[in-house]
Amino acid sequence: MTDRHDGSSIDLEKELVRYMVEHRISRRYLLERIALVGGAAALAPIIAACTSSGGSASAAPSSAAPSVAASVAPPSASPSPTAQPSPEGALNILNWTDYLADDVIKSFEDQFSVKVTQSFFSTTDEMYQKIGEDGGDYDISFPISVDVPNMVERGVIAKLDKSMLPNIVNLGQEWANPGYDPNNTYTVPYMWWTTGVGYDPKRIKEEPTSSKALWDARWKQHISMLDDWQEVFGLTLIQQGHSANSTNTAEMDQALALLEQQKPLVRTYSTDTIGTMTSGDVWIGHIWGADRFAIQETIPDFAYYIPEEGGVKGSDTVATFTGSPHPVAAQLFINHLLDAHNSAANTNLIYYMGPNAAAKEFIDPAILSDPTINPDQEIVDKLEELLRLDQSVRDEYLSRWQQLRG
């Protein structure tokens, strides 16, 4: 694992100054934040950065604003804001396998004396069934952002206690008030991604830029599409100049027609993109952006692009639930995930970009500089998000999808 502070003698003032320099936080900014959110909340991330996996900074300022001094505990104490209930000693997480960095979990366990148990699922729909109406026995999971409003309305997701989430300041500005969850009242964003086209340049000896490349008869039987009706229809609708969330059945029919034309060329519809693209049978496929990095471990120059017609983006969130057995530990964990180092550790593991602005310093530069994983904001703004559609609309899509797949 990484360095561990034993919490004994640290030169606090020196550490604080070093942290501020590293993170380009001016004294003025720090004082402003203290004024805004309170001393403990503003300083907690700094203290957290010391005792969590990074270990590069610690703090307990001796010369900060006087109101802070009293509430700052000695370095070995818990970095969470004072006057908080203590965690319950256990935490149950439901997620994909390998979706959280081991270090992140371990540091949380050590810091709060909490035993973390992970349970797994392989598709988001499965996850929702296991969560049920109140979270089942799970404290933490990762619902897709567009599903959050529905879950909130059904009373599945619990409201967050912002006083326990000082690290929330680390979020990039564009994530501070997302449409699906205003002011991040119930969830905080976890990862975001784009969906586009990936190809093996050794097989596809040109540089396609359009999603029409997936309809190219030259690659017959070497094309793959995602086994996800919303993604597939989304891509097609965008290509035809419509919204990926179209509710117009005529447009849906047009998309279906185009997809029927494509079907003889398609080798497989699969969400196992890494397996499919590395097996060599598929040369160009409909994939999620971050998969490109994983595939590159096998095919080093594997390329990915967001179609020029437009692409799709998505994000997921971390949430805790109304029936969760360990709410305090859950909130502490969410805060833990928002820590810059931890968020970066997760991104470095799974190659998805997080919403955490402060984390950018610690993310593998190869990922950060890759425009396909981390596109410019203006490109991101142009991407469409696949929304949760109304039942009747969804049924229309699904019946066309069944027709296509039959």
Partner 1 sequence: MGAAVQPAEASAASTPVADAPGRIARLRAAALVLPGVGWLVLFFIVPLLLIFVVSLGSRDALDRITLANPSLDNYAKAFDPVFIPTFLNSIRFATITTILSLAIGYPIAYWISRYGGRHKVLLIILVMLPFWTSYLIRTYSWIILLRDNGVVNSLLQAFGLTSEPIILMNTDLSVILGMTYGFLPFAILPLFVSIDRLDPNLIAAGRDLYASGRDAFLHVTLPLTMPGIVAAALLTFIPALGDFVTPDLLGGPGTTTIAKNIQELFLAGRDWPYGAALGFVLMIVTLTGTLVALRTLRREVAGGD
Partner 2 sequence: MARERNRWLSAYALIVYAFLFAPIVVLIIFSFNKARRGLVWQGFTLDWYPKLFSNGELLDALTVTLEVALVAVIVSTVIGSLLGLGLARLRFRGRGATETLLLVPMLTPEIVMGLSLLLFFLQLFDAHGSLAQLWIAHITFCVSYVAVVVRARAANMDPRLEEAARDLGASAWGAFVHVTLPLILPAVIAGGLLAFSLSFDDYVVTTFNSGVGSSTLPLYIYGKIKFGVTPEINAISTIIVAVTAIAILIAWRAGAFDSGPRRPVADEAAT
The contact set with partner 2 (CB under 8 A) reads: 92, 95-99, 117-122, 126, 129-130, 132, 136-138, 271-272, 274-275, 278-280, 294-295, 297-299, 350
Residue 347 exposed, middle or buried by CB count within 10 Å (0-12, 13-18, 19+):
buried
Q: Within 22-61, which residues bind partner 1 (CB under 8 A)?
A: none
Yes or no: say if 134 and 111 are a contact pair by the CB < 8 Å rule.
no
Residue 405 interaction partner, one of partner 1, partner 2, none, beta carbon < 5-8 Å per kind: partner 1
Alpha-carbon distance of 52 to 16, in angstroms, equals 15
Asked whether the beta carbons of 352 and 101 are under 8 A apart, the reply is no
Residue 281 makes contact with partner 1 by CB under 8 A:
yes
Rounded to the nearest whole angstrom, what is the least distance from the CB of residue 288 to partner 2 in the complex? 9
Nearer to partner 1 (CB atom), residue 49 or residue 94: 94
Nearer to partner 1 (CB atom), residue 72 or residue 266: 266
Q: Nearest distance from residue 215's CB to partner 1, in Å? A: 14
Q: How far apart are CA 395 and CA 352, in angstroms?
A: 31
Should residue 154 be labelled a site residue for partner 1 when binding is judged by CB under 8 A?
A: yes
- Rounded Cα distance between 168 and 164, Å, is 9
- Residue 249 interacts with partner 1 (CB under 8 A)? no
Tell me whether residue 300 is exposed, middle or buried, using C-beta atoms within 10 angstroms of its C-beta: 0 to 12, 13 to 18, 19 or more.
exposed
**Which of residues 179 and 280 has its CB atom nearest to partner 1 in the complex?**
280
Beta bridge partners of 225: 269
251 contact, one of partner 2, partner 1, none, CB 5-8 Å limit per kind:
none
Q: Which of 113, 221, 298, 369 binds partner 1 (CB under 8 A)?
A: 221
Pull the structure tokens for residue 356.
Answer: 């955490």
**Which residue stretch of 16-24, 119-127, 138-146, 312-320 sits at the interface with partner 1 (rule: CB under 8 A)?**
119-127
Opening angle at CA 273, ends 270 and 274, nearest 5: 145
Q: Angle CA(100)–CA(101)–CA(106) in degrees, nearest 5?
A: 105
- Which spans of this chain sit near partner 1 (rule: CB under 8 A)? 123, 125-126, 128-129, 133, 150, 153-154, 221, 227-229, 263, 266-269, 272, 275, 279-281, 391, 394-395, 398-399, 401-403, 405-406
